[in-house]
Amino acid sequence: MKPAILFTFSCILASAVCMAQTPNQLTAAEKKAGWKLLFDGKTTNGWHTYNKPTAEAGWKIADGALFVDTSAKTGRGDLTSDKAYSNFDLKIDWKISPKGNSGIIFYVNEDPKYNESYLTGLEMQVLDNDGHKDGKITKHRAGDLYDLVKSTTEPVKPTGEWNTAEIISNKGKLQLYLNGTLVVTTTLWDDNWWAMVKASKFKAMPDFSKFKTGKIDLQDHGNLVWYRNIKIKTF
């Protein structure tokens, strides 16, 4: 290959790679497949603070990522999607601060009688496994279906690095992926599911996981956490 052609090809290839790595954008193939962005990288459009009409100031945006400002004394709380979903494939990047704890909560039902998102929604755990005390508890580690199903393996990256979570829920079949690895598989709403709930901390929460349609929630657990590349496809 001639040098000029090689140079041009290299530039095109490099540009393609850069475009593929640009956060908060959908590729042409993703758009064709039905994916939708839930975060535009610049605003909190499509989101609000749990049980509040708008997104309060505690959630901020920097470098194309949502993060909770832990120095803020007011305007905090979970960030919740405006729309509710039934059967979906959700992808989201996250990174956590040292000793940090958060979670991706789904099938969340908003109502004044529920003062916390976890009273109804299921959680894929976001955690610094080595630095946070929850890392010593089975079913509380990063990638686990919180307090219900332990990850089969732990492909989580070191604190401060981006991880990619994927939650696929389709007609009761639930799969959780972390960094491309399937870590949890279970079936929702059958007898075995309710037995697991009864054996968990959620047994005292009468409406936990009862809703088959609900919102996506990014947890404010009091620690610095970042989220980006939030996209969803419905079935």
Of the candidates 94, 102, 232, 218, the residue with the CA atom closest to the CA atom of residue 169: 232
What is the average pLDDT score of the chain? Answer: 92
* For residues 93-122, average pLDDT: 98
pLDDT-based confidence at residue 235 (cuts at 50, 70, 90): very high
Q: Check pLDDT > 80 for residue 131.
A: yes
Q: What is the dihedral of CA 122, 38, 68, 226, to 10 degrees?
A: 90
Burial class (CB within 10 angstroms; exposed 0-12, middle 13-18, buried 19+) of 217: buried
Q: What pLDDT shows up at residue 163? A: 98
Q: Is the CB of residue 24 less than 8 Å from the CB of residue 40?
A: yes
> Distance between CA atoms of 110 and 120, rounded to whole angstroms?
9
pLDDT tens-digit readout, 139-148: 999 999 999 9
In the chain the domains, ranked by start, together with CATH numbers, are 25-234 (2.60.120.560)
How many Cα atoms occupy the beta-carbon half-sphere of 28 within 13 Å? Answer: 2
Q: Which two tokens stand for residue 214?
A: 């609900």
**Over 70: is that where the pLDDT of 3 sits?**
no
DSSP summary character for residue 150: -
Q: Which residue has the tokens 């732990």?
A: 154
Q: Is 60 exceeded by the pLDDT of residue 9?
A: no
**Which pLDDT score, from 0 to 100, does residue 72 have?**
85
- 40-68: average pLDDT: 96
Tally Cβ neighbours within 10 Å of residue 1: 8
Contact, 226 vs 61, CB < 8 A? no
| Alpha-carbon distances, residue 232 vs 30, 51, 81, 91, 139 (angstroms) | 10, 22, 11, 6, 25
Q: Let me know if 176 is exposed, middle or buried by CB neighbors in 10 A (0-12, 13-18, 19+).
A: buried
Residue 17 pLDDT exceeds 70? no
Radius of gyration of the chain (CA): 19
6 membership: H or E segment, kind and range: helix 3-21
- Whether the Cβ atoms of residue 140 and residue 127 lie closer than 8 Å to each other: yes
Please, what sign has the CA dihedral across residues 9, 10, 13, 19? negative
CB 217 within 8 A of CB 126: no
Q: Is the pLDDT of residue 215 over 80?
A: yes
Q: What is the DSSP letter of 191?
A: H
Q: Has residue 218 got a pLDDT over 70?
A: yes
Decide if pLDDT at 19 tops 90.
no
Reported confidence tier of residue 13, pLDDT bands at 50, 70, 90: very low
Tokens 């803020």 sit on residue: 72
- In which band, very low, low, confident or very high, does the pLDDT at 16 lie, cut at 50, 70 and 90? very low
| Residue-wise pLDDT tens digits, 167-210 | 999 999 999 999 999 999 999 999 999 999 999 999 999 999 99
- What is the structure's pLDDT at 21? 60
